[in-house]
């Protein structure tokens, strides 16, 4: 697993040199984000539909994809009235009769952008299925600012409630799943959603759940914040790709309740406002050394530890925010292996006859 170290001073190392093709992808992604985000905290949805929904999205593919371990995908509806749906990623057929663990995935995008159909997240979920060995259910939660906090958290919990009562529609029994070994995962804003959904589920729904048990959670470079500017935010401003203070402030302005500041409990998870349920699940937090948000992520880890929760850290010193979405990077493969170990270590024991 990646080296687990305490948060400290900013690194004096230069950012790692990225392949030209990857740098161009990051420039294009950043340009698309800046084009659709308005200064008033709204999103230009007309332009978004062209740049993201049309140019960056892919359809589900029920035919197995040999390039990603024969993974197939399909969509199902949870609540059509609010546009709540999910994309499933499953192997063409079960490799063994043993049920597979389930991973419920929440995509990133600053709470305001993207969906499970956007190509980078579709690709991540295919690799999670093939390399971690899980059936993935990627949730299309409602986006801000049209749907502010707590809409994404509500949708995240309701997706779990749906799975608890209905299983995974479309698998038809050819791939058995183990809902008692359900893991929550997501990166950036999705990692924030993972925390809040896991805590709500543990506090309110787990005691009466019929089938689904959240066995663990994997927030990948989770998006937390506050009014304070941390050393990593200041030192990596204009140095690290993807995340900067302006984009980060936009996301909080779009997502948090109107008039709330960044010390709102949705963003600022501290000892004072992190009321963790007794059954809060074990966590593996992924942190990148060139992520401006890393100080907030280390503080989150410290909160979990001080409150007596099981938490591991997978740190990748050369990783920028969103690194694991790019399979050409060695760390993107390494983190999947860390996830596989975490899942296998925390899944429910086999049922006895």
Tokens of 336: 């999947």
Yes or no: say if 214 and 283 are a contact pair by the CB < 8 Å rule.
no
Q: Would you tell me how many other CB atoms lie within 10 Å of the CB of residue 48?
A: 20
Residue 291 is a catalytic residue: yes
Between CA 121 and CA 107 the distance in angstroms is: 7
Three-state DSSP string of 265-325: CCCCCCCCCCCCCCCCCCEEEEEEEECCCHHHHHHHHHHHHHCCCCEEEEEEEEEECCHHH
In the chain the first and final C-alpha atoms are separated, in Å, by: 35
Selecting among 122, 158, 291, 338, the annotated active-site residue is 291
Residue 268 is a catalytic residue: no
Residue 321 is a catalytic residue: yes
Selecting among 264, 321, 331, 338, the annotated active-site residue is 321
Between CA 221 and CA 313 the distance in angstroms is: 11
Q: Would you tell me how many other CB atoms lie within 10 Å of the CB of residue 26?
A: 16
Query: Which are the contacts of 18, defined by CB distance < 8 A and separation ≥ 6?
Result: 26, 241
Tokens of 212: 């689904």
Selecting among 181, 188, 232, 251, the annotated active-site residue is 188
Query: Which are the contacts of 281, defined by CB distance < 8 A and separation ≥ 6?
Result: 184, 198, 202, 214, 215, 216, 217, 346
Q: Which residues are catalytic?
A: 188, 291, 321
């Amino acid at each position: 697993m990646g080296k687990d170290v305490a948060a400290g001073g900013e690194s004096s190392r230069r950012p790692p040199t990225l392949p030209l093709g990857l740098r161009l992808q990051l420039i294009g992604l950043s340009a698309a984000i800046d084009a659709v985000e308005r200064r008033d905290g709204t999103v230009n949805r007309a332009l978004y539909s062209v740049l993201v929904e049309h140019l960056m999205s892919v359809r589900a593919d029920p035919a197995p994809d040999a390039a990603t371990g024969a993974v197939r995908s399909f969509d199902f509806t949870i609540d059509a009235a609010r546009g709540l749906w999910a994309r499933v990623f499953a192997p063409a057929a079960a490799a063994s009769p043993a049920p597979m663990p389930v991973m419920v995935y929440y995509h990133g995008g600053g709470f305001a952008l993207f969906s499970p159909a956007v190509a980078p997240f579709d690709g991540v979920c295919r690799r999670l299925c093939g390399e971690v060995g899980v059936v993935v259910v990627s949730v299309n939660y409602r986006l801000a600012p049209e749907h502010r906090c707590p809409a994404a958290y509500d949708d995240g919990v309701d997706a779990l409630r749906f799975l608890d009562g209905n299983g995974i529609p479309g698998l038809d029994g050819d791939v058995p799943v183990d809902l008692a070994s359900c893991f929550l995962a997501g990166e950036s804003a999705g990692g924030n959603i993972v925390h809040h959904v896991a805590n709500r589920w543990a506090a309110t729904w787990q005691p009466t759940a019929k089938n689904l048990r959240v066995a663990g959670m994997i927030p990948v470079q989770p998006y937390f914040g506050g009014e304070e500017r941390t050393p990593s935010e200041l030192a990596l401003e204009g140095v690290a790709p993807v995340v900067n203070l302006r984009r980060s402030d936009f996301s909080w302005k779009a997502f948090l309740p109107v008039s709330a500041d960044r010390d709102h409990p949705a963003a600022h998870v501290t000892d004072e406002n992190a009321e963790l349920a007794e059954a809060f699940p074990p966590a593996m937090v992924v942190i990148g050394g060139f992520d401006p948000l890393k100080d907030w992520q280390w503080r989150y880890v410290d909160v979990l530890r001080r409150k007596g929760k099981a938490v591991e850290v997978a740190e990748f010193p050369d990783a920028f925010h969103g690194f694991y979405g790019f399979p050409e990077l060695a760390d993107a493969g390494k983190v999947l292996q860390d996830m596989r170990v975490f899942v296998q270590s925390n899944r429910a024991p086999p049922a006895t006859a």
